[in-house]
């Protein structure tokens, strides 16, 4: 990266993208920062300090971290074997599986979320299915819980997890595994000592992807969570209409961005370290 | 070529504003079937009478939309329908044009819903509803609803402090006339007690009714319009008007509105008894002007079904916008802690 230089014509290539980002992302972001850090035109950290020490902010932040972490962990536990299966399958199977993973991706998030309501509610599909096994089961509801939010989000996040990981798994040559086995490693040992370390950079970029997308989730916790365990996005939304200026909501947004940046930096450092195995 | 394109791009915002003629106003409301009802009851008759065009737009978050337009000095709306609480808050912030009560006639409208720069528009109510297939005994009022021994079923309430704390203020049978000013500590304590029996804190009208219709809860609060529609369509739900929390939407002219004089005339028509009397034909919302019931447009039978008929008004409590305008910011943190 260090000896990377730019020719004039390169600007023509990525200029439009930079311009777009500047207008639609950097400029509004600067405005948000301005709202958070000024009072009547003067630089002031009062608002952001009040927000950062407030109970609402920390409770909702902890809720967000809890939800996001469970989503990332469960998505990883489900997604990794799935990506592995696809990467090892015959071309026809691999194609079919990819299609099946992508298929729900083309349905709107809102529709999929309401589908979970139908499945998880008291007289829902899940309970009815369970009744086939235990006919006199007392009706229970899985809806309106944190678990319901987590399930709904894992469903939405799975393709985002599988595809970056798959791209990196597919670039791992099978010869490496064969070489390990010909040197006497059992398949399971070959997997853990050769395949898994090589897939780590892909795994981490998938984790980053899911983490970043999950932090700002709003609709799913609202619809499936029953209003309990408010996440930070809900609190920001409430603050927008509650306070006469944008300072509180902007401060929360800024703090959220800061925490995301810290998480991202740590994960990126880990990913870089994992990447070094390839060199 | 690039220069030419940039020139066109720079012009396009101007092109868009040019559409708004002098004899036209833009009204923003909450969209959907609600806005269809407003159009049929108010917008179309007014447009015809005044010989103007009424363009429509939708709100996304409410007061924040107006704030953004006024502070950004690009006011696109001339007349906006928001909640009465938001009207009180917005007036404090100076976001609206003062109303001219020589043009706008406020007689027949509850004094608590007449501000310097806003006026009540339509009523809806948060009522006690239940699933008729539920095996649990049916609560008849909020006192029953808060009695978890006599009524051990599953419950839901709105994730809105003003409505739900007003309900909690009736937990020990307080008469609707004595609810305000609310004893907030007591109301919070009642909700804290009830919390283990609350399955969900709903945040939309659809969610409120679905919870009850799908038997996710046995009983809960719900907006009267949606639950009445469901009942009429044969769903296993019912509701009571007693103890309903009447809530008003209000009309405002955002500060710096381009056609504020015309908007004032339209607003005067919107709150007039004869157009207010149109509303019950198109929606479950009620007229905010009681004189609508004297116009002869509604028969006695029709009037009895309206949520804000003089008879029904006596059975319900008006959510006092002034009280919440003064208190809402302070209690928001307590509320968040409660619903955690």
Q: Is the pLDDT of residue B180 over 90?
A: yes
Place of tokens 């235990």: A134
Residues of chain A found within 8 Å of residue B215, distances taken between Cβ atoms: 122-123
Tell me the pLDDT band of A3, cut-offs 50, 70 and 90. low
Tell me the pLDDT band of B16, cut-offs 50, 70 and 90. very low
Q: Is the pLDDT of residue B33 over 90?
A: no
Tokens of A275: 């990447």
What is the spatial distance between Cα A157 and Cα A217, in angstroms, rounded to a whole number? 11
Q: How many CB atoms lie within 10 A of CB A58?
A: 13
* Closest alpha carbon to B332 in A259, A240, A250, A2: A240
What is the spatial distance between Cα A175 and Cα A196, in angstroms, rounded to a whole number? 15
Instruction: Show which of residues 21-60 on chain A sit within 8 Å of chain B, judged by CB atoms.
Output: 54-56, 59-60
Cβ contact, residue pair A144, B199, below 8 Å: yes
Specify the 3-state DSSP secondary structure of B279: helix
Element (DSSP H or E) covering residue B2: helix B2-17
| CATH topology classification for B124-247+318-339 | D-Maltodextrin-Binding Protein; domain 2 (3.40.190)
User: What is B79-145 written as a DSSP string?
Assistant: EEEEEHHHHHHHHHHT-BPPP-TTTS--TTB-GGGB-SSEEEEEEEEEEEEEETT-SSPPP-SHHHH
Cβ contact, residue pair B203, A235, below 8 Å: no
User: What is chain A written as a DSSP string?
Assistant: -TT----HHHHHHHHHHHHHHIIIIIHHHHHHHHHHHEETTEE--HHHHHHHH-HHHHHHHHHHHHHHHHHHHHHHHHHHHHHHHHHHS-HHHHHHHHHHHHGGGGS-HHHHHHHHHHHHSTTSHHHHHHHHHSTTPPP---SSSHHHHHHHHHHHHHHHHHHHHHHHHHTS-HHHHHHHHHTT--HHHHIIIIIHHHHHHHHHHHHHHHHHHHHT--HHHHHHSTT-S--HHHHHHHHHHHSSSSHHHHHHHHHHHHHHHHHHHHHHHHHHHHHGGG-
| CATH topology classification for A47-278 | MetI-like fold (1.10.3720)
* Closest alpha carbon to B160 in B168, B152, B170: B168
User: What is B301-340 written as a DSSP string?
Assistant: HHHHHSTTSHHHHTTSEE--HHHHHHHHHHHHHHHHHHH-
DSSP symbol at B199: E
Indicate the range of A41-45, A163-167, B317-321 predicted with least confidence.
A41-45
Q: Does B247 touch chain A (CB under 8 A)?
A: no
Do the domains B124-247+318-339 and B20-122+248-306 match in fold? Answer: yes
Tell me the pLDDT band of A232, cut-offs 50, 70 and 90. very high
**Any idea where the domains of chain A sit in the sequence?**
47-278
What is the spatial distance between Cα A256 and Cα B249, in angstroms, rounded to a whole number? 34
Of A41-55, B9-23, B295-309, which has the strongest mean pLDDT? B295-309
Q: Are A37 and A43 in contact (CB under 8 A)?
A: yes
Instruction: Show which of residues 70-89 on chain B sit within 8 Å of chain A, judged by CB atoms.
Output: 86, 89
Cβ contact, residue pair A123, B329, below 8 Å: no
DSSP symbol at B180: P
Give the one of A60, A121, A222 whose C-beta lies nearest to B216's C-beta: A121
Tokens of B231: 């009942």
> What architecture is domain B20-122+248-306?
3-Layer(aba) Sandwich (3.40)
Tokens of A109: 């998030």
What is the per-residue pLDDT across B116-133, written as a single tens digit (0 to 9) for each? 999 999 999 999 999 999
Cβ contact, residue pair B340, A244, below 8 Å: no
Q: Is B258 left (phi over 0), alpha (psi -120 to 50) or beta?
A: alpha
**Any idea where the domains of chain B sit in the sequence?**
20-122+248-306, 124-247+318-339
What is the per-residue pLDDT across A170-180, written as a single tens digit (0 to 9) for each? 999 888 888 99
| Residues paired with residue A42 on neighbouring β-strands, in sequence order | A39
Q: Are B248 and B122 in contact (CB under 8 A)?
A: yes
Residues of chain A found within 8 Å of residue B337, distances taken between Cβ atoms: 55-56, 59
Tokens of B164: 């739900």
CA angle centred on B144, ends B140 and B146, rounded to 5°: 140
The rounded percent of chain B whose pLDDT value lies above 70 is 94
Indicate the range of A215-219, B2-6, B99-103 predicted with least confidence.
B2-6
What is the spatial distance between Cα B214 and Cα B192, in angstroms, rounded to a whole number? 26
> What is the pLDDT at residue B340?
76
Q: How many CB atoms lie within 10 A of CB B333?
A: 14
In angstroms, the separation between the Cα of residue A122 and the nearest Cα of chain B is 5
Give the one of B202, B216, B340 whose C-beta lies nearest to A229's C-beta: B340
| Cβ–Cβ pairs < 8 A, chains A and B | 67
């Amino acid at each position: 990266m260090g000896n990377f230089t730019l020719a004039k014509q390169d600007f023509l290539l990525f200029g439009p993208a930079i311009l777009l980002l500047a207008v639609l992302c950097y400029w509004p972001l600067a405005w948000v920062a301005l709202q958070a850090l000024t009072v009547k035109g003067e630089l002031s950290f009062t608002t952001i300090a009040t927000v950062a020490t407030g109970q609402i902010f920390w409770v909702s932040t902890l809720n967000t971290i809890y939800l996001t972490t469970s989503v990332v962990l469960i998505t990883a536990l489900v997604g990794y074997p799935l990506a592995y299966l696809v990467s090892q399958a015959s071309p026809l199977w691999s194609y079919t599986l990819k299609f099946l993973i992508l298929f729900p991706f083309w349905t709107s998030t809102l529709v999929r979320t309401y589908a979970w309501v139908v499945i998880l509610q008291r007289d829902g599909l899940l309970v009815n299915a369970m009744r086939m096994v235990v006919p006199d089961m007392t009706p229970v509801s899985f809806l309106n819980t944190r678990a319901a939010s987590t399930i709904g989000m894992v469903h939405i996040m799975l393709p985002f997890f599988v595809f970056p990981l798959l791209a990196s798994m597919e670039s791992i040559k099978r010869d490496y595994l064969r070489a390990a086995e010909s040197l006497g490693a059992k398949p399971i040992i070959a997997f853990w000592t050769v395949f898994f370390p090589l897939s780590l950079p892909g795994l981490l970029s998938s984790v980053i992807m899911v983490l970043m997308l999950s932090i700002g989730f709003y609709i799913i916790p609202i619809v499936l969570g029953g209003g309990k365990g408010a996440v930070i996005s809900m609190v920001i939304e409430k603050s927008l209409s509650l306070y006469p200026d944008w300072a509180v909501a902007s401060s929360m947004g800024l703090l959220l961005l800061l925490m995301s940046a810290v998480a991202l930096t740590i994960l990126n450092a880990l990913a870089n370290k994992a990447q070094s195995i390839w060199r | 070529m690039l220069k030419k394109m940039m020139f066109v791009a720079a012009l396009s915002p101007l092109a868009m504003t040019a559409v708004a003629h002098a004899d036209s106003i833009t009204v923003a409301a909450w969209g959907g079937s609600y806005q269809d009802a407003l159009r049929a009851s108010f917008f179309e008759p007014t447009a015809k009478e005044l010989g103007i065009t009424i363009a429509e737009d939708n709100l996304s978050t409410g007061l924040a939309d107006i704030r953004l337009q006024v502070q950004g000095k690009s006011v696109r709306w001339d007349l906006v329908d928001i909640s009465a609480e938001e009207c009180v808050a917005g007036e404090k912030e100076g976001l609206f044009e003062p109303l001219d009560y020589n043009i706008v006639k406020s007689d027949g409208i509850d004094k608590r819903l007449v501000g310097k720069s806003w006026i009540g528009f339509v009523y809806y109510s948060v009522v006690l509803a239940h699933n008729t297939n539920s095996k649990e005994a049916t609560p008849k009022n909020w006192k029953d609803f808060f009695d978890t021994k006599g009524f051990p079923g599953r419950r839901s309430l709105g994730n809105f402090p003003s409505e739900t704390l007003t309900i909690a203020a009736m937990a020990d049978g307080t008469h609707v006339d004595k609810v305000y000013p609310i004893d907030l500590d007591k109301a919070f304590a009642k909700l804290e007690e009830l919390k283990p029996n609350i399955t969900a804190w709903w945040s939309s009208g659809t969610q409120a009714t679905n919870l009850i219709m799908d038997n996710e809860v046995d009983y809960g609060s719900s907006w009267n319009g949606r639950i009445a529609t469901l009942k009429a369509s044969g769903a296993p739900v019912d509701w009571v008007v007693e103890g309903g929390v009447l809530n008003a939407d209000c009309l405002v002219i955002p500060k710096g509105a381009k056609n504020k004089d015309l908007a004032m005339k339209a607003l005067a028509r919107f709150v007039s008894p004869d157009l207010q009397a149109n509303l019950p034909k198109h929606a479950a919302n009620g007229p905010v002007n009681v004189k609508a019931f004297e116009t002869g447009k509604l028969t006695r039978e029709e009037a009895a079904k309206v949520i804000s008929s003089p008879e029904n008004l006596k059975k319900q409590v008006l959510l006092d916008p002034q009280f919440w305008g003064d208190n809402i910011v302070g209690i928001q943190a307590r509320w968040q802690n409660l619903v955690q």
